[in-house]
Amino acid sequence: MAVARLYLDWNATTPLHPAAREAVLRALDLFGNPNSVHGEGRAARAAIENARRQVASLVHTEPAHVVFTSGATEAANMVLTPDFRMGRTPLKIGHLYVSAIEHPAVREGGRFGKADVSEIPVTAEGTTDLSALGALLAAHDRDSGLPMVAIMLVNNETGIVQPVREAAEIVAAHGGILVVDAVQAAGKLPLDINEIGADFLIVSSHKIGGPKGAGALISRGEALMPKPLVHGGGQEKGHRSGTENVACLAGFGAAAVAAVADLAERTANAAALRQRLENGMRAAAPDVIIHGAEAMRIANTCFFTLPGLKSETGQIAFDIEGVALSAGSACSSGKVGESHVLTAMGQDPKLGALRISVGFSTTEEEIDRALAVFEKIAGRRKSAGEAA
């Protein structure tokens, strides 16, 4: 009898939460166009606006501040632009500053030209270098327009929490705009856009138990907004055209509610599971490197290196044993390459690293199964080295 596979790649995507599944199924019967004025259309519109309220509550803001998109990548491309408006007045953004450990969706710079994007270095501990940020903003050419800064709240590979509140103070002191990728933070940390100090937050449905194909750009207010990326019928108050995906958004909203309902309990459980995992890994392979172990991390993530084991080799070996994990970001068309995050931290990316991330249904028994596989793979590595 085949052993069930073990899913430990929750940072890449989550299984659909039961509440989100129910919401999607109910919404599939709402066949009306949500922009139509008849009863069928109004029913679909009501489902979308309910989802908007639910997603707004995820970050403690007003529903009017939530613009739905097809996902976090679209939200990033929408907000990372030199062209903004403050009410009806055009506002020019002169330069974009992104941290060196950003997700590829942000590192690409959106609608900025390559010459208009600069990198903010990170420390050896994997956190944004605030001194470097201050120096970059002090040297910013104000005549070119306002500075924009993009710093993620939680790194998707290491799980390290970034000093975004402190960065927000620096950005505000220089009259800049702060964009925060909160994709990996949502459902793992309490979020309040005003407390964080971000002008814009980016969140994703499928990272919190919702369906793929939905995300949101959340603003601190309604006056400052980017030039639309998608033009057409003027949906989302003109910020994002296109007929909305009612079922996806309904699932997104339900997942947002579930993501905060028992956050403290889930966080404590994830922390205990990770401790069990990392203790077992160190016992089985004392030379294992756990990146960010001394830093503040979200509770569910372990990014590790087994010296002598390449990322792609390790990922395949675990997969053959029935364990799904990743080699970092899973958003590069299935490619397994060197980690730009390790490079930014001053480490040799050729070391290779693997990421285990747990979720709401992960159990101690599953962690123990993963450790048995880890020990097996680590043992093979030693045997191969001794044979050589």
pLDDT of residue 387: 40
pLDDT of residue 335: 53
pLDDT of residue 223: 93
Q: What are 25-43's pLDDT values in tens digits?
A: 999 999 999 999 999 999 9
Asked if 116 and 94 touch (Cβ cutoff 8 Å), the reply is: yes
At residue 332 the predicted structure's pLDDT band, cuts being 50, 70 and 90, is very low
Q: What are 147-189's pLDDT values in tens digits?
A: 999 999 999 999 999 999 999 999 999 999 999 999 999 999 9
Q: What is the average per-residue pLDDT within 294-304?
A: 96
Instruction: Decide if 331 is catalytic.
Output: yes
Residue 86 pairs in a beta bridge with 89, 224
- Residue in 130, 146, 230, 331 annotated catalytic: 331
Q: What is the average per-residue pLDDT within 120-146?
A: 97
Report pTM: 0.94
Tokens representing 118 are 């600069």
pLDDT of residue 386: 45
At residue 352 the predicted structure's pLDDT band, cuts being 50, 70 and 90, is confident
pLDDT of residue 333: 42
pLDDT of residue 229: 95
pLDDT of residue 37: 96
CATH numbers and ranges of domains, the chain: 6-15+262-387 (3.90.1150.10), 19-260 (3.40.640.10)
At residue 383 the predicted structure's pLDDT band, cuts being 50, 70 and 90, is low
Q: What are 238-270's pLDDT values in tens digits?
A: 999 999 999 999 999 999 999 999 999 999 999
In angstroms, the Cα distances linking 159 to 101, 107, 145, 324 are 11, 18, 33, 18
Tokens representing 66 are 């939530």
pLDDT of residue 82: 97
- 292-295 contact pairs (CB < 8 A, 24+): 292/125, 292/126, 292/158, 292/159, 292/160, 294/125, 295/125, 295/126, 295/127, 295/158, 295/160, 295/161
Tokens representing 330 are 């899973």
Is pLDDT of 282 > 60? yes
DSSP letter for 227, please: P
Q: What are 303-325's pLDDT values in tens digits?
A: 999 998 999 999 999 999 999 99
pLDDT of residue 349: 72
Mean pLDDT, the chain, whole residue set: 94
Classify each residue of 14-52 as buried b or exposed e, where b means 16 or more C-beta atoms within 10 Å of its C-beta: bebbebbbebbeebeebebebeeeeeebebbbebbebbb
